Amino acid sequence: MIVVKKALPRRTFLRGAGAMLALPLLDAMVPALTALAQTPAAPVRRLGFIYIPNGVMQARWTPTGEGTRFDLSPILAPLEPFRDDILVVSGLAHRQAESFGDGNADHHRATAAWLSGVHAWTRSTGLEIRLSTTADQIAAATLGRQTRLPSLELALESATSIACDSGADCFYSNTVSWQTPTTPLPAEVHPRVVFERLFGDGGSAVERQAQARRTASLLDSVVEEAARLQRRLGPSDRSRLTEYLDSVRAIEGRIQRSDATDLEMALELPERPTDIPGNFTEHARLMFDLQTLAYQADITRVFTLLVGREQTNRTYPEIGVPDGHHVVSHHQHDPVLMAKKEMIDTYHVELLGYFLDRLRSTPDGDGSLLDHAMILYGSGLGDGDLHSHDDLPVLVAGGGAGRLQGGRHLRLPETPMTNLLVTLLAKADVPIEQQLGDSTGALDVEPAAGV
């Protein structure tokens, strides 16, 4: 690499007409004296929270064996390439998601409790909406001080796609992220809006759409500055920057193609949302690609993603399940419906595998984005058929910059899931000023000696 007297600032942007593009971590951002000693930049720890709806087939989710001597279950089998990067935790519960005499809104309380550990009252207080600051936002208050966006809230399903028993319960299903007890953060489903929030000028949705029509490509407006920067970088940085810009360009093209398809199909399929790929797999992968870029450019270090909202009846004909997800989850031990539910659960895990592969293949300092991240994947429901909130499906992927060891299955006695949330925050150096929900303390997730 080329050693210069002054390192390139970590928060360097390429600026153009109406555009600002953050850069990934480059060797040139390591202080010069540090570079001479061949010491990598200090790793940035990142957190992600991915929520799946309607519980899982628990018997087909839970691995056999414990510690390092375990076999991945049929649902988790797609994660075999990431076996050493995942920690599966069994025995966690969200008792605050139970009724407490508050009606049948188990689905919606599950979403609300997932990152808060707080009971969401859906009946006795009418439409008074109140919860608690969630774990992701506790993290964002610390990790977001160094990034342009403190956090990013994503979804793969619109808020109008689920049924509600009352005005309050459905409200809780629309996000897992709460900045304050009375400030839920909406989850964005449109890839174009997410892209322009990450890389564009901002403004209202209408203003962003108008700008998109005027601007052929975000990169076109920063290409000259990118060329000047390339001349200042060493060979490895030039290659890394070129790869990053190519990734941004590729995602722009995919979004533009989705827009064109939606416009062409508008008369035939008027119910399709604009800017969203019609194929669920492509939509999910596009959102995961955007989040990978957001991590890579250090635009945000915290995100949440709703794979689906509780009580969703999304169908999955692409995997041979034309039935609604919620209907299938209430299988009542019908073997045909149970098999279909397992197919949905496995498909969601396959999508997670795609994201983990993107993170693992993206360099970050002396490792990869996956090495430096901790991605929590799971649900606030255990058995969707019974609306249970115990033995939740929970796994954590990533190395936490050396603070989390994967390749293990922990089987615990019933324990508040908030204990795991407290543990992850601590490993990300996020202080907690007050108790998180019903937590009783951090979990000991370190491997036992010799195991």
Inside any domain, residue 185: yes
pLDDT confidence of residue 3: 38
What is the CA 282 to chain-centroid distance, rounded? Answer: 16
Q: Are residue 280 and residue 418 in the same domain, yes or no?
A: yes
- Which range of residues forms the domain containing residue 145? 47-189+276-288+296-427
Q: Are residue 222 and residue 365 in the same domain, yes or no?
A: no
**Cβ partners under 8 Å of residue 182, min gap 6:** 129, 130
Residue 368: DSSP 8-state: E
Instruction: Please give the Cα distance from 324 to 341 (Å, whole number).
Output: 10
Tokens 């992927």 belong to which residue?
Answer: 397
Look at the chain and report how many structural domains it folds into. 2
**Cβ partners under 8 Å of residue 160, min gap 6:** none
**Cβ partners under 8 Å of residue 149, min gap 6:** 197, 198, 294, 299, 300
Q: Which candidate, 278, 130, 274, places its Cα nearest to that of 193? A: 274
Q: Are residue 229 and residue 108 in the same domain, yes or no?
A: no
Query: Which CATH number goes with the domain that contains 149?
Result: 3.40.720
Contact 421, 177 (CB under 8 A): no
Inside any domain, residue 398: yes
Inside any domain, residue 194: no
Q: Are residue 182 and residue 330 in the same domain, yes or no?
A: yes
Contact 227, 160 (CB under 8 A): no
CB atoms within 10 A of CB 2: 13
pLDDT confidence of residue 367: 94
Inside any domain, residue 350: yes
Inside any domain, residue 441: no
Q: Are residue 98 and residue 142 in the same domain, yes or no?
A: yes
Q: Are residue 205 and residue 228 in the same domain, yes or no?
A: yes
Map 336-348 to HEC letters.
HHHHHHHHHHHHH
Predicted TM-score (pTM) of this structure = 0.81
CB atoms within 10 A of CB 39: 12
Full DSSP string of 283-294: HHHHHHHHHHHH
Q: Are residue 15 and residue 99 in the same domain, yes or no?
A: no
CB atoms within 10 A of CB 426: 14
Instruction: Please give the Cα distance from 12 to 24 (Å, whole number).
Output: 9
Q: pLDDT digit of tens for each residue in the chain (451 aa)?
A: 333 445 666 656 666 655 566 667 777 776 544 433 334 567 899 999 999 999 999 999 999 999 999 999 999 999 999 999 999 999 999 999 998 877 778 898 999 999 999 998 765 555 567 899 999 999 999 999 888 899 999 999 987 655 555 555 667 888 999 999 988 999 999 988 888 788 765 445 455 455 555 555 666 767 777 777 888 888 878 887 787 777 777 767 666 655 544 433 332 322 323 467 889 999 999 999 999 989 988 889 999 999 999 999 999 999 999 999 999 999 999 999 999 999 999 999 999 999 999 999 999 989 999 999 999 999 999 999 999 999 999 999 999 999 999 999 999 999 999 999 999 999 999 998 888 999 999 998 887 654 4
Q: Are residue 214 and residue 153 in the same domain, yes or no?
A: no
Inside any domain, residue 437: no
C-alpha angle 109/52/115, rounded to 5°? 50
pLDDT confidence of residue 384: 92
